[in-house]
Structure 1
């Protein structure tokens, strides 16, 4: 999440947060039962609801950040394919599948299919449709492999 959002939230709700922390501290010190944890959860839920942040908002923010990270990783992987095409080596398997490796990438798929799996720095970026750049990368890997 954005640091500015959190600082603005803290600026606007600092009094409620301080009161909630004091109440939580008192509850934790004086109540020694299951009721203690129920009260802690109620106070935490109150602070979250009072702040106007819903679980949907948090989920949307996480999804947005994840999508942005995947898009950035995807563009970095495409740039890396262009840079490392000369180093790409292809390994063909008897079942018609192949794996192309470079120092930073691993592309695997099956001959004739229009989708391949891409890993960048050991992290899976999922299945990609074979684009022109990917096709050129595969062709270069075929040429590099004896």
Structure 2
């Protein structure tokens, strides 16, 4: 979605947008029931349809933003793994599973599995497939724990 298109749309349709916003605020302030939200949704949908934005375009933008956010978080977590590898502690749970804890990261997995659950700064970020960085992080955590206990 091009910002120039939005600017041009706003220049050409500013009066319609202002009227719609005024009607929206009046509806939200006067009507105090479910009807209020139904009217608000209709007004917003009317503006979107009038502007020529399709639901597919909105879905594409949301999908793109979501993918970029996930990629950014994953990159940040992998960088944090390299920085915090010396502080990571490995705990074997006895049932074949393990957990690794560092100040900003937590990994949980099972020996022989090709996936680990990653928590970054207290927020679960999903199951990730093993890669060289994660394997190196696990090995470093094992070595840290072994040298701390020995």
User: How do 1:37-116 residues align onto structure 2 when only pairs under 5 Å count?
Assistant: 41-116=41-116
Unaligned residue ranges in structure 2 (runs of 5+): none
What is the count of residue pairs matched by the alignment? 145
Counterpart in 2 of 1:135? Answer: 135
CA drift at 1:110:
0.1
Q: Deviations over 1:33-86 (max 9, x none)?
A: 988776655443321200112222222211111111111111111111111111
C-alpha separation between the residues in 1 aligned to 2:29 and 2:104? 53
RMSD: 3.2
Q: Normalized against structure 2, the TM-score is what?
A: 0.79
CA separation of 1:118/1:5 partners in 2, compared to 1, >3 Å: closer, same or farther? farther
Report the alpha carbon displacement of residue 95 of structure 1 after superposing the two structures with TM. 1.3
The normalised TM-score by structure 1 is: 0.80
- Measured after TM superposition, the shift of residue 125 of structure 1 is 1.8
**Matches of 1:119 and 1:29, distance apart in 2:** 42
